[in-house]
Amino acid sequence: MMSARFPQLARLLGATAFAVFLAGCVTDQTSSLVAPANPLPAGAPRLSGDDRAGEREHARLVAAFGGEYRAPEALRLLTEITARLVAATERPDEAYQIAILDSPAVNAFALPSGRLYVTRGLLALANDASEVAGVLAHEIAHVTLRHASARSELALKSALVSRVVTDVLNDPSAAAMLADQSRFKIAGFSRAQELEADQIGVKTLSKAGYDPYAASRFLSSLGRAGTLAVSAAGAGGRTAADVLSSHPGTPERIALSLQAARRSGGPGLGESGRERYLAAVDGIAYGDNPTDGMVRGRRFVHPRLGIAFEAPEGIALENSAKAVLGASPDGSRRFLFDAIEAAENQSLAEVLRSSWNEAVETESVETLSVNGAPAALAIAKGKEWIFRLAALRLGGTTYRLVLAWKGGPADLDRAFRASLESVRALSAEEARGVRPLRVQLVTAGPGDRVEDIAARMVTANRPLERFLVLNGLERDAALKPGGRYKIVAE
């Protein structure tokens, strides 16, 4: 949240942006932007113009998704899977490079140059090598199809990638970026192209000796993860958990992928590679990167900014690159915490008036101190929504906290004040103690039930549902004694 590189957040959630916010809070997130990847080392071969452009695209995309994630065993496995898939395509001589991106979003994409990308969020969701192979086979199919197209089409795709990333990096005022931070429509493929890539991907998956049913299996997990994200964000929430949001609907893709798998043979014929895959992702980071702030139930901590707060009861929080957003299950309450630009001599009451589009009720403005930090409160009313606003200065930064609701009981004002009073500076020791959540493997014992192992998840928000989705299990599933399952642990 709120990277120090983005002080220009004043008015970010003005009229249009906050309207988008009210329509549906973001339910997946990407890490804050970081410096581009290192340039080519000294002595590296000189690159052509196209190659240099490809390297620039690569660096910008890696930066937009939080940098590269270091997981040597997982990367080694992904490289082997890619080589095996490429050998099974109609272009086995093509060269590909794969990178893991440090983003909790569930995403994968490819560049025309043969660069392949998967996020650590996708690796956490997949349950075996064949599922990840299905994703990569789909992306390789996109590259293969583009290779057969006119060079003018390739240039158009490349220009689209460059334009999208430029927007991501340089247009923080775009309202859509707040509501959909991780929904990068990188490929911009048509529906027909997506479905064709699915079909070719399943065929390649089978020819490479992997379980062809893995593609539909992962798509099913993807759909369930999206549903869970929407549910956690509240009614009207949207999800960015779909692997490239420009794809056709997940149910349609599952059905067609199943048809393609059946043409390849019956279930159980291909390799899944489950045990090696689970070993490779054991310990991988899960969820937010601590340097960009972390959600722990209703609590949010940001060790780099040195700040923490707690959301009102019943609000499920989601962190994005520029704000912390939240919603109640029914969508009737919305929450926002962000940093805004303010002049040093500007009063906090004036900050509220100038950074909020709805008219602030003058008689509602109140000044006070919150844990030793100066603050101001106010009320603003729209057609349907009532906004409780606060601004406070802490550590040289001005923060804004907003609780919006449609009508609602009077005790929401007390809930808002309690949340505001929870805003405080982190001590250096507390900041150092913030650790990322990680995927951890556990072995089911005789008699262990799904509920027993799910209770060991440290996520406060729907641990049972998250455990089921994370492991591709149904609610009535019986655990296999001696089987290994993923949980989220500190």
Nearest to 380 by CA among 407, 353, 401: 353
Write out pLDDT tens, residues 250-285.
788 999 999 999 998 777 788 999 999 999 999 999
Task: Please tell me the predicted confidence (pLDDT) of residue 409.
Answer: 58
* pLDDT above 60 (res 189): no
484 neighbors 441 (Cβ within 8 angstroms): yes
Alpha carbons 71 and 59: distance in angstroms, whole number: 19
Max avg pLDDT among 78-87, 160-169, 393-402:
78-87
120 neighbors 99 (Cβ within 8 angstroms): no
pTM higher than 0.85 for the full model? no
Alpha carbons 454 and 468: distance in angstroms, whole number: 8
Average pLDDT, the chain: 78
pLDDT band for position 179 (50/70/90)?
Answer: very low
- Strand 115-119 and strand 108-110: the pairing is antiparallel
Write out pLDDT tens, residues 276-331.
999 999 999 998 888 788 888 789 999 988 999 999 988 888 887 678 988 887 78
Mean pLDDT across the stretch 418-423? 96
Q: Using a CB cutoff of 8 Å and minimum separation of 24, what contacts does 273-278 make?
A: 273/128, 273/129, 273/130, 273/133, 273/210, 274/127, 274/128, 274/129, 275/484, 276/77, 276/129, 277/77, 277/126, 277/127, 277/128, 277/129, 277/132, 278/127, 278/128, 278/441, 278/484, 278/486
470: left (phi over 0), alpha (psi -120 to 50) or beta: alpha
CA dihedral 403, 303, 422, 232 (to 10 degrees): 40
Instruction: Give span(s): CATH 3.10.350, the chain.
Output: 437-489
Q: How many helices (H) and strands (E) does the chain have?
A: 16, 17
* pLDDT above 80 (res 38): no
* pLDDT above 80 (res 49): no
- Mind spelling out the 3-state secondary structure of 109-126? EECCCCEEEEEHHHHHHC
Least confident range from 86-95, 370-379, 442-451, 456-465: namely 456-465
- Find how far residue 311's CA is from the centre of its chain: 20
Check residues 423 and 178 and name the one with the higher pLDDT: 423
- For 188-253, the DSSP string reads ---HHHHHHHHHHHHHHHHHTTB-TTHHHHHHHHHHHHHHHHHHHH-TT-----SSSTTSPPHHHH
Provide the strand spans (E) within 31-96: none
Check residues 264 and 150 and name the one with the higher pLDDT: 264
CATH class, domain 292-433, is alpha beta
Check residues 155 and 32 and name the one with the higher pLDDT: 155
The b/e string for 149-173 (b: 16+ C-beta within 10 A; e otherwise) is eeeeeeeebbeebeebbeebeeebe
129 neighbors 275 (Cβ within 8 angstroms): no
Check residues 424 and 249 and name the one with the higher pLDDT: 424
For the chain, what percent of residues have pLDDT higher than 90? 45
Residue with tokens 């027993």: 452
Alpha carbons 334 and 315: distance in angstroms, whole number: 8
Check residues 154 and 453 and name the one with the higher pLDDT: 453
Nearest to 200 by CA among 87, 89, 86, 107: 89
Which CATH code is given to the segment(s) 437-489?
A: 3.10.350
Instruction: Give span(s): CATH 3.40.1000.10, the chain.
Output: 292-433
Task: Please tell me the predicted confidence (pLDDT) of residue 155.
Answer: 46
- For 418-484, the DSSP string reads HHHHT-EEPPHHHHHH---EEEEEEEPPTT--HHHHHTT---SS-HHHHHHHHTT--TTPPPPTT-E
* pLDDT above 90 (res 70): yes
The b/e string for 6-16 (b: 16+ C-beta within 10 A; e otherwise) is beebbbbbeee
pLDDT band for position 435 (50/70/90)?
Answer: confident
* pLDDT above 90 (res 367): yes
283 neighbors 439 (Cβ within 8 angstroms): yes
Mean pLDDT across the stretch 369-378? 95
Alpha carbons 34 and 26: distance in angstroms, whole number: 21
Please enumerate in sequence order all residues whose Cβ is within 8 A of that of 438, keeping only pairs 6 or more positions apart, or say none.
Answer: 283, 284, 285, 286, 488, 489, 490
Write out pLDDT tens, residues 464-477.
999 999 999 998 89
Task: State both tokens at 337.
Answer: 């915490």
